[in-house]
Structure 1
Amino acid sequence: MSQLIIRNVRIAGMAACVPSRVEENLSLPIFKDESEAKKVMASTGIERRRVVQLGTTASDLTVVAVHRILTDLSWKISEVDCLIYVCTSRDFIAPQTACILQNRLGLRNDCYVMDLPLGCSGWIYGISVIGSLMSHGSFKKGLLVAAETNSINRNSKDRTVKPLFGDAATVTAFEYDASFGKPFNFVFGVDGSGYQAVWTKYGGMRYPTTVEAVVEKEIEPGIVRRGTDMIVNGMDVFAFAIKTPPHSLKELIEAYHINVDEIDYLYLHQANKFIDEKIRKSVKIPIGKVPYCLEDFGNVTSASIPLTMVTRTAEALCNKKNHCLACGFGVGLAWASMEFNVDNIVVSELVEY
């Protein structure tokens, strides 16, 4: 079991930006009829999603979210020492989007910036990276972005992915604070043998984009894809998700001697309501302590946990101390679980692009 403890760092604030465009799953043309749409909505828990307009990227949403949290925290952009950008739908293959954001945001030239191309577990992995950078005090203020524009490489004619994924950008602001007595505790895991459970075959160096790869093909009725589109092998994902995340959370609870009765919130990656309920029940956390936002936003991969925090538990996070657990799992296959505390932070109102 891979463990990590990070001290002397606290969450100072959070913000999120979503596209203004709303897609209702009930009205998607990929379903045969309304009854089929309702069946999918009932099993996934996803009723609608936010989707970007053509030409909008995750970095565009990010700029809006970052400006909002800096304003609400009364931070100057010149005070930010590091920025970690968790995203798989980056602007270009090269350079890394974090470099472009340095310029767009006006970050200092000596600011530490880095892309972290992780999916559904990315927010927790991102905290492990930015927390490690900041825990010694060299960096005083940092920003962790978890953003994704999933709709861009999910084919709108593929009923296995279209009703599931939405777009969003979130930013979590961190401060060095040697007096903050609560550490971030982690466990991590990866199983690369399952990399084809959620993957995009073409567009990288193993399978470069070809003319044929961008031609749509009907796989079966209701499933049309290009080689550059994301593929989700549902049965493989389901088998992984109902087994591995519960085990990861139990490892976390045992390793750090956590009393689950004292937990205020368990934040799960918003994959699928049925899967998440299986995970919740496995660790015996009451349903009222496990917030969901997937009904309104769908699966926004690395942004799903912070988006849930911003849209569902902002009042509690702003006004009291909260003892929390989180678990992210998916693309890789990779997963991570975390124990953390949130103490009277700033949570910005959700903004639209």
Structure 2
Amino acid sequence: MIIIKGIEYYLPEQVESNDHGDKITSKIGIYERHIAGPDEYASDLAIAAANQLFDKHEIKREDIDFLLYCTQSPDYYLPTTACVIQNKLSLPTSVGALDINLGCSGYIYGLSLAKGLIETGQANNVLFITAETYSKFIHPMDRSVKPLFGDGAAATLLSAGPSQYGVQSLVFGTDGRGSNNLIVPAGGLRNPLSEANFQEETDAFGNVRSKSNLYMNGPEIFNFTLNEVPASINKLLDKEGSTLEDFDFFIFHQANQHMLEYLRKKLKIDPNKFSVQFSDCGNTVSSTIPIALKRELENGKIKTGDKVMLVGFGVGYSWAAASLIWHD
């Protein structure tokens, strides 16, 4: 099995506050978001998180033999940003390095890839970094997404561990029919940036955006989540022959209060066993799960031997769930 030997995260210094008296703020439960500066990019956040991991856990850079980097805010079309990060972190040139273009399910997909690399003997220590700067895609006058998303990064070290601990079972799901419901329509090769794609439009709710900005169909995303998340959890339980009561703690993708509370009640999960860690940082996409996991460890909510369920879901549509038995 593979175990998590350390997690650290980094949030940009710049903070934006949501209107505390606003109905939307009360509904989503997000009061502050950390925003990358004009010259600060996802890879910069990734490097800061990784450096914290090395420093605080006394991890040797030469012991890393694979780097996984999950982002939808790459520095360039090419080269692979993981290669840029390898150099800036002074990792050995013998490491493997690759990018994963996934959003809110990305952390669990990364755990799966690391598990495969380690358990097949291809790597011993995998540095897995998630980093996102969705703020750079968001129009400042688009209230449908601006209050939700914050920037951030997390770095996780994964290594082989005792067979009774670590990442156990995983399940996945994909439905590309929902790809247009959370999308930046322009900027890739299919629809390159042009003057027309920077023209701003105002929707029926007064939100302003262009084709170069992030668009989210909130109701469709909500419906997708309510359908697929419980189904994926049941699939995981069936795979393990377990029940929800067998789990000591649950960490779902930290989307927003409205969505998570609806899911928690639908699944009848005890609130004391359910992570809520977004009020001061917002939805940090692929970094929400590791940030929440790190905070709950610091809070003493997760201890050695505890069985924890991780669930990611969102843009793609893409979703995944994993069980792990914590080893401190």
SS for the counterpart of 1:55 is coil
Corresponding residue number in structure 2 for 1:107:
91
Aligned equivalent of 2:199, options 215, 239, 246: 215
Aligned equivalent of 2:224, options 240, 245, 249: 240
CA distance in 2, matches of 1:319, 1:327: 19
Corresponding residue number in structure 2 for 1:348:
none
Corresponding residue number in structure 2 for 1:14:
7
Structure 2 residue 50 is the aligned partner of structure 1 residue 66: yes
Corresponding residue number in structure 1 for 2:16:
23
Deviation at 1:120, TM superposition (A): 0.5
Query: Which residues of 2 match residues 1-353 of structure 1 at below 5 A?
Result: 8-26=1-19, 34=21, 37=22, 39-177=23-161, 179-220=163-204, 222-316=206-300, 320-344=304-328
CA distance in 2, matches of 1:123, 1:107: 22
SS for the counterpart of 2:169 is strand
CA distance in 1, matches of 2:240, 2:78: 40
CA distance in 1, matches of 2:173, 2:244: 22
Matched residue pairs, number?
A: 328
SS for the counterpart of 2:300 is helix
SS for the counterpart of 1:243 is helix
Is residue 9–residue 180 contact of structure 1 (8 Å, CA) maintained in 2?
Answer: no
Q: Which amino acid aligns with 2:27?
A: S
SS for the counterpart of 1:63 is helix
Q: TM-score, normalised by structure 1?
A: 0.89
Is residue 202–residue 227 contact of structure 1 (8 Å, CA) maintained in 2?
Answer: yes
Query: Kindly tell me: are residues 288 and 319 of structure 1, through their superposed partners in 2, closer, same or farther at Cα, counting changes over 3 Å?
Result: closer
Query: Kindly tell me: are residues 310 and 178 of structure 1, through their superposed partners in 2, closer, same or farther at Cα, counting changes over 3 Å?
Result: closer
Is residue 146–residue 302 contact of structure 1 (8 Å, CA) maintained in 2?
Answer: yes
CA distance in 2, matches of 1:178, 1:323: 15
SS for the counterpart of 1:321 is coil
Is residue 251–residue 275 contact of structure 2 (8 Å, CA) maintained in 1?
Answer: yes
Deviation at 1:340, TM superposition (A): 0.8
Deviation per residue, 1:169-192 (Å, 9 max, x gap): 001111123555554211110111
Deviation at 1:241, TM superposition (A): 1.2
Is residue 165–residue 324 contact of structure 2 (8 Å, CA) maintained in 1?
Answer: no
Structure 1: runs of 5 or more not aligned = 1-7, 28-33, 345-353
SS for the counterpart of 2:211 is coil
Q: Following TM superposition, where does structure 1 have runs of at least 4 consecutive aligned residues deviating by more than 6 angstroms?
A: none
Query: Kindly tell me: are residues 337 and 201 of structure 1, through their superposed partners in 2, closer, same or farther at Cα, counting changes over 3 Å?
Result: same
CA distance in 1, matches of 2:41, 2:118: 28
CA distance in 2, matches of 1:210, 1:95: 23
Is residue 270–residue 299 contact of structure 1 (8 Å, CA) maintained in 2?
Answer: yes
SS for the counterpart of 2:283 is coil
CA distance in 2, matches of 1:181, 1:242: 30
Structure 2: runs of 5 or more not aligned = none
SS for the counterpart of 2:191 is coil
Q: What's the % identity of the aligned pairs? A: 31
SS for the counterpart of 2:3 is strand
Deviation per residue, 1:149-207 (Å, 9 max, x gap): 11110111101011010000001111123555554211110111111110111001111
Deviation at 1:221, TM superposition (A): 5.4
Is residue 11–residue 174 contact of structure 1 (8 Å, CA) maintained in 2?
Answer: yes
